[in-house]
């Protein structure tokens, strides 16, 4: 992987293309993306990409998946960092951590965020709702809401539909913050997280 510059065979071209595509998109916007430009930046001929992706769309899909994975990882780390003296406090802070991670991800990777939640993205479905495995961002959110119920911080009757309420609010803040600097301060972020907690009826 390290001496890849020298060899005829790149070694890890698929990953290199995705990485470079991310950098390109992040610096010049989602519209600047093109297969040729990415190949150019990696230092490879345009059609080399076709060894790894069937076409332009396949590369975009790979980028989008990378986005989901990054978001998921960020949420997990954010939850892992939570410190609290009581289970109730811990559950509340974990919920807020998921939302904070989501918004921070958007602000740190604005273009990737747009691609990930772009027009053609099929989002994870809420139907697979026994979300014990936490394989995607939505499941992580579900679990943290379940935890709130378990510790008695969220009345059971208020549990249904809580995912959508939380997600919608956090997603809206993340989206709008991309073009409104006044929403980017951590103060405003904490405010919306508090709004979610309140609105859900956490006691």
Q: Which spans of this chain sit near a second copy (rule: CB under 8 A)?
A: 29-30, 114, 117, 119, 121-123, 126, 161, 164-165, 167-173, 175-176, 178-180, 182-183, 188, 191-192, 195-196, 198-199, 201
Q: Which of 1, 2, 5, 9 binds DNA (CB under 7 A)?
A: 9
Joined tokens for residue 181: 């600097």
Decide if residue 52 touches DNA (CB under 7 A): yes
Q: Which of these, 55, 67, 61, 56, lies nearest to 26 by C-alpha position? A: 67
**Start-to-end C-alpha separation, the chain:** 52
When binding is defined by CB under 7 A, the residue of 44, 89, 151, 188 that contacts DNA is 44
Q: 73 is in the binding site of which of a second copy, DNA, none (Cβ under 5 to 8 A by kind)? A: none
Exposed/middle/buried for residue 142 (C-beta within 10 Å: 0-12, 13-18, 19+): buried
Q: Give yes or no for residue 55 binding DNA (CB under 7 A).
A: yes
Please state, in angstroms and rounded to a whole number, the distance separating the CA atoms of residues 4 and 11. 6
DSSP 124: P
Give min distance, CB of 63 to DNA, in A: 12
Sign of the alpha-carbon torsion through 172, 178, 180, 181:
positive
Interface contacts to DNA, rule CB under 7 A:
7-11, 13, 33-37, 40, 43-48, 50-52, 55-57
């Amino acid at each position: 992987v390290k001496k890849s510059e020298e060899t005829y065979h790149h070694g890890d071209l698929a990953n290199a293309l995705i990485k470079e595509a991310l950098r390109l998109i992040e610096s010049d916007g989602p519209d600047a993306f093109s297969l040729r430009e990415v190949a150019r930046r990696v230092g490879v001929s345009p059609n080399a990409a076709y060894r790894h992706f069937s076409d332009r769309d396949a590369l975009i899909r790979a980028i989008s998946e990378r986005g989901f994975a990054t978001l998921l990882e960020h949420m997990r780390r954010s939850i892992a960092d939570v410190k609290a003296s009581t289970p109730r406090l811990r559950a509340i802070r974990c919920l807020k951590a998921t939302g904070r991670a989501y918004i921070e991800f958007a602000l740190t990777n604005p273009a990737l965020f747009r691609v990930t939640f772009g027009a053609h993205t099929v989002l994870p479905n809420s139907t697979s709702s026994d979300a014990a495995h936490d394989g995607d961002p939505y499941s992580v959110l579900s679990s943290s809401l379940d935890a709130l119920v378990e510790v008695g911080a969220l009345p059971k009757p208020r549990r249904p539909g809580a995912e959508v309420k939380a997600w919608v609010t956090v997603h809206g803040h993340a989206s709008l913050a991309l073009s409104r600097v006044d929403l980017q301060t951590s103060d405003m972020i904490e405010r919306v997280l508090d709004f979610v907690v309140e609105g859900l009826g956490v006691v």
